[in-house]
Structure 1
Amino acid sequence: MERTSLNLIAISVFVMTLSALLSPIFHISPFIPAVATLGILGLVSVDSLSWQSKGLTLVLGLLASPQERQRIIYHEAGHFLVAYCLGIPVTGYTLSAWEAFKQGQIGYGGVKFDLTLLSDLKVQETPLIFERFFTVWMAGIAAERVIYGNAIGGEQDRQILREMMKLAGILPQNYQQKERWAILQAKTLIEKHQDAYQSLGEMMAQGASVEDCYQGIQKKLSWQDKTEID
């Protein structure tokens, strides 16, 4: 069960206990908080078993504050920019579970990549393709650290990274070292291309297409190269 679901269950139990203690004082029927709490627990259980807690994620996404939404944009822009820099095609992106739901997907939202590059043939042709994907998956965490000094999101990214490292035949004892290396590589790219990164985030916030985002990045990087030469 997802950590968010467990937290909600713990809160529900606490509220039910507190309501039972305070109901005699405020003349509240203990039946009301009990039914409400059991209803919440039932919904959380169904959501966890049937949707892998995606329904709860959808609700929490709708209630996110502007600051939380901004952090998500910075996180996803990090994935997008680093993928572009490393030659991994982006096929689409969403910035919330609600956007993903409107597109017929049940998930957290995020940047989508061309995973056909991980086919056996492509891996043989480009042995370092796994290393590139490692960096891309850690780019959201790296982006948050660049902007905020810490990362709140990224647990799902870490889970995917571990699965990819397992697929690549990396030993478990080397996972943390590889993760730190990938975050450092991504952080270096984002800091090097700060103007392109900031511009990309603004475009993604406005719902720009992948093609328009590509053109925006190219324009910023071309200007950066021209400035460095001059």
Structure 2
Amino acid sequence: MNLSVGVTIAREISLDLRRGTDGAVVVATKRVKEDGDGCGVRRRRAALRMVDRQLAKGNSKLALSLVKQLQRQPPPAGLRGFAAARQVPRRFSSVEELDLNVTEKSDLQSLHGSILDLIKSSLQSSPLDESSVTGEDDDLYSEYDIVEHKQVVQHEAGHFLVGYVLGVLPKKYRFSSMEDVKQDQVIDASVKFIGFEFLTELEDELSSKKNMCDVKPGHRAIKRKLSSTVLSKFLCVIVGGLVAEYLVYGYSKGHHGDMDKLGRVLKWLQITEDEADGVLRWAVLNTLLILRRHGEARLALVDSMTRGRSIGNCIDVIETTLNYHDI
């Protein structure tokens, strides 16, 4: 634990961190139990306001460090949901392999198949030239799409929630205002995360080339930074938006930017079509189950994001409504 950061947290939220053989965490646990859940929640919210301040200053690493320290604190002062998602084993890639009843399997199979078909068709038709390079995490809606504002927020909440429970901290989000939607303007939206900086490096590399043929896929200096764990998280987060739309509406209109970005990453890493099919089957299945289990938290997050609440406030909403019995 970073001592200077730990002292700051203690001062802000009045934790009793005495020096002793048991360490600070044990003392904090005793204090939380004495004060009750209400006081613990207030401490959590005070600490999350600190996270917001660091994010506003652009101190992403410090903000993430604060969140990880809160993750180690006991509930309710601590964060129980960050990086805590129960995931589908990597060896599973189909609904049939899951221990579910017939009805659940039937519902999931239909969704799983429809989402995979959309991803496959989008990847096949996605342009890969320089002119279509987009920002790090932008979700673009075609000007021909009639999209309600609430559908855009559902999409972004899907990205946000999946990233959070997988341990990828959102650092900012935005989406077009309702006025933009009413004026039939092209809608753009995004959630940016700490830990996906490789996307910026990739886009910088692409934008400096005339076309994809000039890019050296899998450039070793960058590829080494993209571990299998990071790739798995990225795949789940990138499909989180369209999966959330499917769960609510049965279709997605906000997948254009996501699929363009996904195609670029897969090509950059020199992942073959067969390899991509396998990892995407798992990622969609994993994401689908995560968002289904935490429907209440997703809806509460949608409301918070609609109101333009801070990242810390959104995290607090997730922690308050997350299904901890089946995380």
With structure 1 as the length reference, what TM-score do the two structures score? 0.60
CA distance in 1, matches of 2:248, 2:141: 25
Structure 2 residue 245 is the aligned partner of structure 1 residue 165: no
Aligned 8 A contact 1:75 1:143 in 2: yes
CA distance in 1, matches of 2:304, 2:152: 14
Amino acid at match of 2:188: Y
Structure 2 residue 274 is the aligned partner of structure 1 residue 193: no
Match of 1:215 among 316, 319, 327: 316
- Please identify, of 113-122 and 71-80, the stretch whose mean Cα deviation from structure 2 is larger: 113-122
Q: Name the larger-Rg structure.
A: 1
Aligned 8 A contact 1:78 1:143 in 2: yes
Q: CA deviation at 1:96?
A: 1.7
Given the superposition, is the C-alpha separation of residues 211 and 117 from structure 1 closer, same or farther in structure 2, using an over 3 Å criterion?
Answer: farther
Match of 2:115 in 1: none
Aligned 8 A contact 1:165 1:175 in 2: yes
Match of 2:189 in 1: 109
CA distance in 2, matches of 1:111, 1:158: 15
Match of 1:70 among 142, 147, 150: 150
Amino acid at match of 1:90: P
1:135-193 per-residue CA deviation (whole Å, 9 max, x = no partner) reads 10000110011111122220210111112222333113433443343222211111111
In structure 1, the gaps of 5 or more residues are: 1-48, 101-106
Amino acid at match of 2:301: L
CA distance in 1, matches of 2:294, 2:288: 10
In structure 2, the gaps of 5 or more residues are: 1-129, 181-186, 200-221
Larger RCO of the pair (alpha carbons < 8 Å, separation 6+): 2
Match of 1:21 in 2: none
CA distance in 2, matches of 1:75, 1:58: 11
The percentage of counterpart residues that share the same residue type is: 28
Given the superposition, is the C-alpha separation of residues 147 and 122 from structure 1 closer, same or farther in structure 2, using an over 3 Å criterion?
Answer: same
Match of 2:167 in 1: 87
Given the superposition, is the C-alpha separation of residues 99 and 80 from structure 1 closer, same or farther in structure 2, using an over 3 Å criterion?
Answer: farther
CA distance in 1, matches of 2:177, 2:299: 23
Aligned 8 A contact 2:141 2:256 in 1: no
What is the number of residues matched between the two proteins? 165
Given the superposition, is the C-alpha separation of residues 97 and 130 from structure 1 closer, same or farther in structure 2, using an over 3 Å criterion?
Answer: farther
Match of 1:142 among 243, 247, 261: 243
With structure 2 as the length reference, what TM-score do the two structures score? 0.43
CA distance in 1, matches of 2:189, 2:251: 21
Amino acid at match of 1:164: V
Given the superposition, is the C-alpha separation of residues 58 and 187 from structure 1 closer, same or farther in structure 2, using an over 3 Å criterion?
Answer: closer
What secondary structure is seen at the aligned counterpart in 1 of 2:308?
coil
Q: CA deviation at 1:89?
A: 1.5
Q: CA deviation at 1:214?
A: 1.0
Match of 1:131 in 2: 232
CA distance in 2, matches of 1:155, 1:93: 18
Structure 2 residue 282 is the aligned partner of structure 1 residue 181: yes
Amino acid at match of 1:147: V
Q: CA deviation at 1:207?
A: 0.3
CA distance in 2, matches of 1:132, 1:190: 14
| Structure with greater proportional helix content | 1
Amino acid at match of 1:89: L
Amino acid at match of 1:137: I
What secondary structure is seen at the aligned counterpart in 2 of 1:170?
coil
Given the superposition, is the C-alpha separation of residues 185 and 53 from structure 1 closer, same or farther in structure 2, using an over 3 Å criterion?
Answer: closer
What secondary structure is seen at the aligned counterpart in 1 of 2:228?
coil
Given the superposition, is the C-alpha separation of residues 52 and 85 from structure 1 closer, same or farther in structure 2, using an over 3 Å criterion?
Answer: closer
